[in-house]
Structure 1
Amino acid sequence: MMDGDSTTGTPRTAGMMLRSAREAQGLTLSDVAQRTRIPLRHLEAVEDGKFQALPSITYAMGFGRAYARAVNIDETEVARALRAELAANYQRPEPLQDLEPIDMRRGPSGGLVAIAAAVAIVLLLGVGLYFGTSLFRRDEAVTAPAATVAGDLGMLPSPTPAPGTTGGAAPASAPVPAGGGQVTLTATGPAWVRIFDDTGTLVNKEMAAGERYDVPMAAKNPQIRTGRPDLITVTVNGSNVPPLGTAERAVTVGISAEALRARGEASPTPAPVG
């Protein structure tokens, strides 16, 4: 193989050597692409010496060697020619000049700080609205278990007497009618109550002052558990019955018409004579 062009004496390039070998064997560039699995456009770039179209110098050297093996010429000689051409002609892409380098010593920009602060404020407002108001929450029929326990143990603060009533004074009671009847519970102040029967819980809530509840006449052995029995007025068919208890302790008592009748008929135990 000659070291240069026979007419001009110019050294042959790697691309010229590869093309001459290919044409001498009657091969097309597509044939070489099939043998080497190298894209046709990259083989054209190697033949034409347009190395800027290749991904990098490493790819240019690898493609040139594979091309040389495919056409059965000395790949070392081709690689030597490629190395010289790349050293003289290959130019790396210029870095972008319009991008300001990032100074890692500087803190975040003022815009980022303002955006982060705005997001934090919105989150805090959302949390405050959710937990501080009922705007995003549905009202629950059953009150919190902790409050129910407090009411059952008689730990709720003493209520303010309702207008027109005397604080702590129990309403006058009348004899319970002989037959069964409608039992009605009326709260004279805020009082936690749990009303249940043999089938389960009927009511578990805080009754507000003036609120009333009619015990279902079909209830089986209805009972009440409350920490403030002194704030619950009980009537049977509209007639008052003795109070369920005092403010000193919680009680669990039956509230059927029969149970209330039995309490009304029970005679007090006489005090021992000293």
Structure 2
Amino acid sequence: MAEEGSAEGEEGHSPPAPTLDLEVGEHVGAALRAIRQSRGLTVQDIADKTRIRPAYLEAVESLRLKDLPSRPFTIGYIRSYAQALGFPGDAAVARFKADDPDRNDALRAPVGVRRMADPRLRVMMLAGMLLLSAILAWNLIRRGTLEEESRGPTRLITADPPRAAPIGPISLGSPLPAPVESNAPPPYLTPGLESQLSAALPEGLSSGEDPTLLDLGDTFTPQGQVSGAPAGGGRLVLQARRPTALIVWGPDGAAWFARSLAAGEAYRAPEGARITFETVEAGVLAIFVDNRALGVLPAGRTSASSIALSPPS
């Protein structure tokens, strides 16, 4: 009887669950998904921890690279995902590079960023074509007029009567000066053309303004979601003047924040954090320190410490 009970106990005892790590699955995304599911976490739970959109996390789990931004963004997402699960971010990135070693294409524009054409360019091209057409038409009309004047009225040509032979010496006067060069006509401006070209430009638009950028003023005013540190938790704020992408790198090289910002949305840097900002567009992210405008963020990477030490503009 004891042997039968012992046998039943051995049959009812389930074997320990296998330990999951970043090497399971067909790729790193599958490994991250398996670890998340084993811990009973949802995609939204990971999105709340990493501040990454759930759609991007699902694309990482399936390794659908066509649905993700450029390669640096994808690496940052994988690093943050692994760290949210308690795994080293560098190990997850190494697995990703082993799964996809042959990507060497140029950086794509971040997902959600739209390139907008300058409306002034079309107006300037149209104005130039009108001006060129007017000058060409005037030259053709002017040349035809000059040719008609040079020919003079049509007359019947008859034989000249015989001339009498000159008698005595003939005196010649002093030579006349060379004729004035008249091949180049004086400049001509079509009447009313200048006023029409001025009216075609948008009212109040100067050469240094971009009509696609949002005017944020000299004082920081929230016009959408403010990510990063809570209100009062940092002096430095970046605010988007139109839709753009922002990556915030921590001192250890991990991506603290990586997402697309809509016009008016902002990111507040934690006070004293040694972080670096990265963007692909210059002049789109406005800088505010102590709620005062300090300028705009250039393209590439900029450390937060260099901005905080800059004097207010």
TM interval, shorter chain, is 0.3 to 0.5
Query: Please, what TM-score do these two structures have when normalized by structure 1?
Result: 0.33
TM-score by length of 2: 0.30
